[in-house]
Structures are given as structure tokens and as C-alpha cells.
Structure 1
């Protein structure tokens, strides 16, 4: 039953765009001692096996990390990482933010990369 609900949620998420995902409430809003590029590289490394290559793009005073979906190339999550004195401010937006049984690899990577 749980797998059916998850598959239905994945199918309904459809073709989310970065701007669609950024309009959702952040699932994480934290501060890290790492610089934006350092945090982005950590997240990219942690997600390499489960998600493949992420896109890292310049964004405002930092970088934006776009994470692909597990089953498609459409974005599944967006990290907005802004520079601040002594580190960075991180906001994570996920396309399935309102689905409690969403894959946990993105949140896990985000948490593991905070300290530094």
C-alpha cells in the first residue's frame, strides 16, 4: 500500500520546474560553517550514487544546486545556498515536500553536509 502511494505521488509530480519547486515552502532552512561551493560539492558527492550528476549554478551571492529525480531528469529538489559571513545560508525546496513518504536521500545528504 505504501509503495502504491509513493508511486502515485511520483507519477503526479510530473514535470516540475526549478521555479515551481522554489515556490514551495522550504523543507530545510539552516546555516552552515561551510562556504557555498564547499557545501554544494559535499551535497553533489553524497547524491552521486542515488541521483547522478547534480547541476551547480551561480545564484545571487552563492550557488543553486539542482537535484534530478530518481526516475527522470526533471528536477526533484533545489538547494539555494547563499554566502554569509563565516559560512552559508541554505534553503532546500523539494518537489514532493507535502508527501511524507518521499525518498530521504536528499534530506540525509543535506543534513550530513551542514557541519564543517
Structure 2
């Protein structure tokens, strides 16, 4: 019964847009010694096996990555990764569509963490 309620609540929430994600709280707010380009390339490479290609947007001296949903096309973004240039690296903010849902896929969060200092 709990699964039915969870599935129903997901169906009723609809699709999130990029602007919806921009207004949500960050799931992660971290810094890295990598440049925005190095960090973005790491995220793209790490998620290449589990997601369709990410959309990249240049924002000032930083980048924004829009991560597509795992299932379905045109369902809106699953996550937004904002990467801003700092004097010695990058400031990274991750915003996820289902940030309060405990059974959401963890690949985006794992990639965000792995790319902080990993190679």
C-alpha cells in the first residue's frame, strides 16, 4: 500500500522545470579545487553510463548542467548542477527534483561527490 501511495504522489507532482529547480533548496553545497570546466567534464563522464547527455549552459565564469530524468523523454530535468568559479576552484550547488524522496536515484548525488576531488 505504501508503494501505491508513493507512486500516486509522484504521478500527481508533475514535471519540474529548470525554474522550479532554481527555486528549490540545495541538496548539496560544496567546493572543489577543480575549475568549473574540469568539474563539469567529470560530472558528464561519470553520468554518461546512467543518463542521456547533460545540457550545459555557460553562466558568467561558471557553468550550469541540466541533468535529464532517467526514465522518459520530455519529463523535465531531474537535477541542476550549478558550478561557479572561485579563486582556487569551484563552488558547486546541486538541486534535485525529488530531494525529499528517499528512493530517488543516487547517481547524480554520487557523481557530484566523487568529482569534488576525484580524478
Deviates more, 1:11-20 or 1:78-87: 11-20
What stretches of structure 1 of length at least 5 have no aligned partner?
Answer: none
Q: Greater CA radius of gyration, 1 or 2?
A: 2
Q: Which residue of the partner structure matches residue 43 of structure 2? A: 43
Deviations 1:25-52 (A, max 9, x none): 0000000000001101110111111111
Secondary structure of 1:40's partner? helix
- TM-score scaled to structure 1, two decimals? 0.89
Give the Cα–Cα distance (whole angstroms) in 2 for the partners of residues 86 and 114 of structure 1.
13
Q: Retained in 2: the 8 A contact 1:21–1:93?
A: yes
Q: What's the CA shift for 1:100?
A: 1.5
RMSD across aligned positions (CA)? 1.8
Q: Which residue of the partner structure matches residue 79 of structure 1? A: 81
Secondary structure of 2:104's partner? coil
Q: Retained in 2: the 8 A contact 1:24–1:97?
A: no
Give the Cα–Cα distance (whole angstroms) in 2 for the partners of residues 111 and 41 of structure 1.
14
Counting matched residue pairs gives 116
Secondary structure of 2:83's partner? strand
Deviations 1:7-64 (A, max 9, x none): 4454344221111011110000000000001101110111111111001110132000
Secondary structure of 2:117's partner? coil
Secondary structure of 1:78's partner? strand
Q: Which residue of the partner structure matches residue 107 of structure 1? A: 109
What stretches of structure 2 of length at least 5 have no aligned partner?
Answer: none
